Amino acid sequence: MIPDQKKLRRGLYAGIFLLAAALFILLAPRKNRTPQPVFPLYDYADIAAKGVLRTALEYNSISMFVDKDTLAGFDYELIKAFAREHGLQVDIMPEMSFYKRMKDLSAGAFDVVANEIPAVSPFKDSLLLTTPIVLKKDVLVQRKATSPTDSMFIKSQLSLARRTLHVVKGSPSILRIRNLGDEIADTIYINEIEKYGPEQLIAMVAHGDIDYAVCDEGIARAAADSMPQIDISTDISFTQFYSWAVGKHSPVLRDSLNAWIERFKQSEAYRNIYKRYYGRNG
């Protein structure tokens, strides 16, 4: 049977029409699409011209805190030393949310986030990390065992299977916990907490509101002094390097910080600051 030529022509015309419509959609100006944000270059020269370094810091017992009537802290002292040497004022912007610090830095709200970020952070491709500031690791925070057979007490990473670990929302610890789940070939549940920082999570563990939290060892050790019911002996991560971060739009600022960090870490001043907050020589 010979196909109806009129039907063939109609099918051919319809195909051509659909192809032309598709090409028009692909090639036409995308006026109605939401444009991607473009942030202007704001680098060290702009910071120096204004004389102000906008710095995001988390308020905790290591990074920055109030000591009597003044501010103190490991990262606070370091960023102040950098600014002092470069003739800058530091505008401190406290921000408890790790996720928001990273997001606002990318958006240009801060010049630098002076809280340590691991080199394996999922944010490393959207930010510029400085040369390492310090070596440290994450630990599991739990209550001390009530008996030798306490089933809630975790002695090894293998026992993390099917447990729920609480972390600060967006924390770089999340990536390590997921990798740890792969290593033990079982599921480790993660509950991201947005409104609290690590010290609040530690207090919630101590008071029985949650069973497990993961945070920086230095913060956990400081908290353990006033909360003797917690245990921090189980490591979650290996000891690794941590850095500060600047936005992608500030490569010269990153270079300036790197040169200063590498030089300052060789000084007696750095060793004294490190010992003051981490309790051992740097």
Of 199 and 279, the one with more pLDDT: 199
Q: What is the mean pLDDT of residues 6-31?
A: 48
Q: What does the longest C-alpha to C-alpha distance in the chain come to?
A: 98
Whether residue 31 has pLDDT greater than 70: no
Supply the pLDDT for residue 11: 52
Query: At residue 85, does pLDDT exceed 80?
Result: yes
Q: How far apart are CA 212 and CA 165, in angstroms?
A: 5
pLDDT digit string, tens, across residues 128-152 = 999 999 988 999 999 999 999 999 9
Q: Are 132 and 158 in contact (CB under 8 A)?
A: no
Residue 10 — very low, low, confident or very high, per pLDDT cuts 50/70/90?
low
Residue 27 is predicted with a pLDDT of 47
Q: What is the pLDDT of residue 121?
A: 65
Distance of CA 87 to the CA centre of its chain: 28
182-217: pLDDT as tens digits: 999 999 999 999 888 899 999 999 999 999 999 999
Show the domains of the chain with their CATH numbers: 44-134+242-278 (3.40.190.10), 138-235 (3.40.190.10)
Could you tell me which residues come within 8 angstroms of residue 208 by beta carbon, excluding any fewer than 6 positions away? 143
Residue 178: CA count within 13 A, CB half-sphere:
10
Task: Read off the pLDDT of each residue in 262-270 and give the average, rounded to a whole number.
Answer: 96
| Contact predicate 141/210, CB 8 Å | no
98 vs 9: CA distance, rounded Å: 62
Check residue 33 and give its pLDDT. Answer: 45
- From residue 216, how far is each of 43, 237, 257 by CA, in Å? 30, 10, 23
Q: How confident is the model at residue 39 (pLDDT cuts 50, 70, 90)?
A: low
Identify the band that residue 42 occupies on the pLDDT scale cut at 50, 70 and 90.
confident
Amino acid at position 134, single letter: V
Rounded Cα gap, residues 112 and 243, in angstroms: 11
**Mean pLDDT over the full length of the chain:** 86
Mean pLDDT of 37-52: 84
Give the per-residue pLDDT at 171: 85
Q: Is the pLDDT of residue 21 over 60?
A: no
Mean pLDDT calculated for residue range 21-30: 46
